[in-house]
């Protein structure tokens, strides 16, 4: 295969905890203040990466961010030694402390939007880190995300890196969580689907009423401009505001695409017919493959079941034999209606032929399924050759990462642990070692 899709999964960081930080994300709110296991969370993620590698996929590893984010706490007025900073924040602003300790960068679907070289005017792969402005804890991520992306994709002959969009709700951008791409073969021009939650400059247009729309149309348009995408290579579609109000905070909780397949819930979009017509027309200009629109009706799987099981936060991957496999969380297996749907799906006339279930429960409890954990980068062999090879999963990296987690990560964390200065030291020691393992250079502030 000359072109393919690589998945870069976010490694869960050493401070992984449940802080209930994400209004609009049902699982995050439900798990607030539960005790987390950073070690299990990281191992679950690494095991998923290894399993995809074993399936013959190109699998990358994306480093976590430094947390506690002492630099942000100092910026917000806490001072003294690092231990004083943590203690003061714990006493007077516990919510700020939790936010500055979140390991949320593990959900790399939100790290950036990536456009492959087949789509861009200059023939390079484009990366724009997401500004994640809607949630304070996530808005701390883009700068370091940019550093890590530049270190992994470090060759300007092939890769073009942009600055994240302006940090303002008008340009709220959640990266690949609201972006999917249909194509014939991965290396050819495809059609990029940008899903948005609201219009930034027109309050009279439809928008959710209860929960925030995290992505604006204007942000999506800016990313498409930066990436040099042609009008024929882009479709914008608004997410149904009612589903956002029912807990579908990102589009990848309600639809997912791969090559010639779009798998979506019937309530996912506004003006679905107009959207699918435009998509079909544009797709037909780029590929002669037959398009498969797999629509899941509410009567078969309710919206509530989608949000609980993350049926659509699954990865659809193309194996080397050309068939597609769904990578699903165990929650889909354990829900009889969703399991029955998936059992039926693999017998039908679509490219999807099997489902594999994974335990990513530590991530699911914060609203992140298998697809949230990965950033997709469609690329050619040549482009892969220009990637930092130390970040690509193989048997050796798997055992090194497993040993690294077992050496540095705690078994459990609760809110009170976040003020512990030794957690900061442990976390920095671990990340410093990781940057050597992955040969990333000094991507963190504490290293500069």
Catalytic (active-site) positions: 174, 250, 372
The site map against ligand SUG for 359-398 (x = CB under 6 A) is -------xxx---x--------------------------
> Which residues neighbour 77 within 8 Å (Cβ) at sequence distance 6 or greater?
none
Does the protein bind ligand SUG through residue 49 (CB under 6 A)? no
Cβ closer to ligand SUG: 173 or 383? 173
Pairing assessment for the beta strands 324-329 and 352-358 based on DSSP bridges: parallel
The site map against ligand SUG for 16-35 (x = CB under 6 A) is --xxxxx--x--x-------
The site map against ligand SUG for 304-323 (x = CB under 6 A) is --------------------
Does the protein bind ligand SUG through residue 104 (CB under 6 A)? yes
Cβ closer to ligand SUG: 263 or 283? 263
Edge-to-edge order in the sheet of strand 3-10: 58-62, 3-10, 374-380
Distances (CA, A) of 21 to 32, 99, 295: 8, 7, 32
Residue 404 beta carbon to ligand SUG: minimum distance, rounded to whole angstroms: 23
Check residue 233 and report its DSSP letter. Answer: G
The site map against ligand SUG for 221-250 (x = CB under 6 A) is -----------------------------x
Residue 271, token pair as written in the block: 């003006």
Residue 159 beta carbon to ligand SUG: minimum distance, rounded to whole angstroms: 22
Does the protein bind ligand SUG through residue 253 (CB under 6 A)? yes
* Residues 371, 296: Cα–Cα separation, whole Å: 18
Q: Quick one: angle between helices 82-92 and 94-101, nearest 10?
A: 130
Question: Beta-carbon neighbour count of residue 281 at 10 Å?
Answer: 12
Subset of residues 272 to 301 that bind ligand SUG, contact rule: CB under 6 A? none
Distances (CA, A) of 315 to 208, 234, 260, 354: 27, 21, 14, 12
* Structural element, H or E, at residue 255: strand 255-258
- Give the CA radius of gyration of the chain: 21
Cβ closer to ligand SUG: 108 or 151? 108
Cβ closer to ligand SUG: 95 or 277? 95
**What residue ranges bind ligand SUG (CB under 6 A)?**
18-22, 25, 28, 102, 104, 107, 109-110, 135, 138, 177, 250, 252-253, 366-368, 372
């Amino acid at each position: 295969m000359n072109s393919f899709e690589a998945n870069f999964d976010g490694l869960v960081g050493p401070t992984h905890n449940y802080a209930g930080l994400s209004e609009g994300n049902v699982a995050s709110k439900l798990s607030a203040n539960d005790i987390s296991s950073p070690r299990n969370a990281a191992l679950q993620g690494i095991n998923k990466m290894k399993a995809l590698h074993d399936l013959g996929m190109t699998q990358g590893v994306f480093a976590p961010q430094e947390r506690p984010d002492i630099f942000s706490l100092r910026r917000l007025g806490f001072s003294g030694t690092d231990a004083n900073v943590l203690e003061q924040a714990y006493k007077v602003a516990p919510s700020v402390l939790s936010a500055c300790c979140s390991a949320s960068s593990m959900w790399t679907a939100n790290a950036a939007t990536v456009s492959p070289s087949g789509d861009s005017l200059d023939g390079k792969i484009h990366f724009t880190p997401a500004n994640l402005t809607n949630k304070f804890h996530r808005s701390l991520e883009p700068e370091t995300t940019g550093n890590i992306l530049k270190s992994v994709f470090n060759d300007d002959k092939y890769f073009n890196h942009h600055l994240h969009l302006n940090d303002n709700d008008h340009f709220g951008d959640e990266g690949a969580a609201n972006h999917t791409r249909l194509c014939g073969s991965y290396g050819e021009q495809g059609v990029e689907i940008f899903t948005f939650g609201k219009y930034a400059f027109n309050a009279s247009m439809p928008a959710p009423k209860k929960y925030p729309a995290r992505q604006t149309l204007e942000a999506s348009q800016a990313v498409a401009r930066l990436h040099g995408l042609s009008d024929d290579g882009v479709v914008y579609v608004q997410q149904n505001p009612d589903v956002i109000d029912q807990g579908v905070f990102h589009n990848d909780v309600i639809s997912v695409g791969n090559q010639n397949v779009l798998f979506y819930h019937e309530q996912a979009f506004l003006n679905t017919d107009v959207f699918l017509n435009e998509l079909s027309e544009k797709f037909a200009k780029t590929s002669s493959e037959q398009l498969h629109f797999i629509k899941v009706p509410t009567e078969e799987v309710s919206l509530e079941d989608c949000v609980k099981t993350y049926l659509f936060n699954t990865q659809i991957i193309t194996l080397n034999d050309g068939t597609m496999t769904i990578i699903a969380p165990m929650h889909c297996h354990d829900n009889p209606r969703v399991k029955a749907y998936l059992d039926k799906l693999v017998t039908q006339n679509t490219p999807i032929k099997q489902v594999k279930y994974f335990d990513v429960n530590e991530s699911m409890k914060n609203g992140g399924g298998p697809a949230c954990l990965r950033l997709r980068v469609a690329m050619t062999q040549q482009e892969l050759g220009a990637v930092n090879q130390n970040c690509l999963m193989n048997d050796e990296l798997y055992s090194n990462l497993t040993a690294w987690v077992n050496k540095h990560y705690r078994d459990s964390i609760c809110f009170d642990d976040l003020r512990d200065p030794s957690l900061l030291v442990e976390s920095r020691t671990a990340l410093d070692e990781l940057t050597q393992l992955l040969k990333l250079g000094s991507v963190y502030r504490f290293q500069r």
